[in-house]
Structures are given as structure tokens and as C-alpha cells.
A = this chain, B = another copy of it.
Amino acid sequence: MKQQEVFRAMADPTRRAILKRLQGGALSAGEIGALFDMTAASLSHHFAVLKKADLVRTERRGRYIVYSLNNSVFEDLARMVFDLFPLKENPPRGSSGGKR
């Protein structure tokens, strides 16, 4: 699991925006491009980072390359986050380990 890749990918606002757009369903590189004020080349670079982190998947559809969220990695990401923090809200110093 590429923890580093995932966190790195999420660190850029453009990439997070791309992920957010993809929530609405798969989009081609060009369609995404139309939504951002940036060259196709720059976006392509962002796609590469997202792909390396396994956050998106691609499928060629004729002339288009279609991007979609890879939801399975979402679980991993959630796990990472939970793993990085203790499980309790704000342990008032007396409560011994609660549930999960």
C-alpha cells in the first residue's frame, strides 16, 4: 500500500478538486480539463499522481481516456487516517479503552 503516494496526492488542492468532480461520475481528461484553468499537460501530470496513488482508474474509450474514482482505495485511506489517530474523541483521562 502506497501510503506516501496517497497522502502526497491529496496534498494538492487541484487534485482534491479533481477527485471531488469525479464524485459526480466518470469524466474524460478533456471534460475535466474544461473545468480547470490549466493546460492539459499540467492536468495530465496531476492525473498521473492520482493514478500512482491508485485513487483513480482510467479506461480508454475510443479517443477519450475516462477517469473514475477508485473507491476501494478510499477504505485504505480511511484506515490510514484512523491508524494515525487514537480512537477516542477526547479521553478525559479516566476512561479506560472504550469500544473500537
Chain A residues with a Cβ under 8 A of chain B: 3-4, 7-8, 10-11, 13, 16, 19-20, 23, 69, 71-72, 74-75, 77-78, 81-82, 84-86, 88-91
Pairwise interchain contact B7-A11, C-beta atoms closer than 8 A: yes
Pairwise interchain contact A71-B90, C-beta atoms closer than 8 A: yes
Contacts of A82 in B (CB 8 A): 78
Q: In the assembled complex, how far is the CB of residue A28 from the closest CB belonging to chain B, in whole angstroms?
A: 16
Top-9 shortest CB links A-B: A11-B11, A74-B85, A7-B11, A7-B10, A23-B86, A8-B11, A71-B90, A19-B84, A71-B89
Contacts of A85 in B (CB 8 A): 19, 23, 69, 71, 74, 77
Instruction: Determine the distance from Cα of A86 to Cα of B71 in the docked complex, in whole angstroms.
Output: 8
